[in-house]
Amino acid sequence: MSNPTNFPAKFPDWHGTTILAVRKGGKTVIAGDGQVSMGQTVVKAAARKVRTLAGGKVIAGFAGATADALTLIERLEAKLEQYPEQLARACVDLAKDWRTDRYLRRLEAMLIVADKTSIYTVTGVGDVLEPDQGVAAIGSGGAYALAAARALIDGDQDAEAIARKAMAIAADICVYTNGSLTVETI
């Protein structure tokens, strides 16, 4: 079958994000690596995948297609303006819109969103998940970072040190994760 648009029949296989959230000792940290890969090639090593929102009261990290994720972050910012100081409600409302809106439904990304007291993973299938142990992760190296952070959470290190160490462990294991970090703390 011919492709009259001259675009590839299949989009490139993009990988390369690890986002980790850690809450401990009254601090919440989200760390994200900077690697973006297409197939086996690193196309960017220092992408910024973690943002502060709501005047610095909320942090969001994203995995997936960048344009899609930034669209979701813009929508989340609007929800946070609509529901100030109500992160859970803003996340649930975003997930509801994401699930039911024809345009948003096609977006391929995930978010981790946090404030001082809560962490949520928000997905396009309507999930708003709050972790039991104050640690959440998404992306290609998310499982590695999550396991490392959970192993470290009961130790003496603070939230940022745990996030940095867990991300370093993920970068050592996952070829789609690097050590170029963006770290935001509330």
In order of 143, 170, 173, the CA distances from 159 in angstroms are 18, 16, 21
133-152 tens-digit pLDDT: 999 999 999 999 999 999 99
pLDDT of residue 8: 40
CA atoms of 114 and 129, how far apart (whole Å): 11
Q: How many domains does the chain divide into?
A: 1
Query: Is 84 within a domain?
Result: yes
Q: How far is CA 63 from the centre of its chain?
A: 5
Query: Is 63 within a domain?
Result: yes
* CATH classification at residue 120: 3.60.20.10
39-81 tens-digit pLDDT: 788 889 999 999 999 999 999 999 887 888 888 899 999 999 9
Range of the domain at 25: 17-173
pLDDT of residue 24: 97
CA atoms of 50 and 72, how far apart (whole Å): 13
**Interacting residues of 165 by C-beta distance below 8 A, sequence separation 6+:** 148, 152, 157
pLDDT of residue 105: 65
CA atoms of 3 and 121, how far apart (whole Å): 37
Reported confidence tier of residue 7, pLDDT bands at 50, 70, 90: very low
Catalytic annotation, residues: 17
Query: Is 10 within a domain?
Result: no
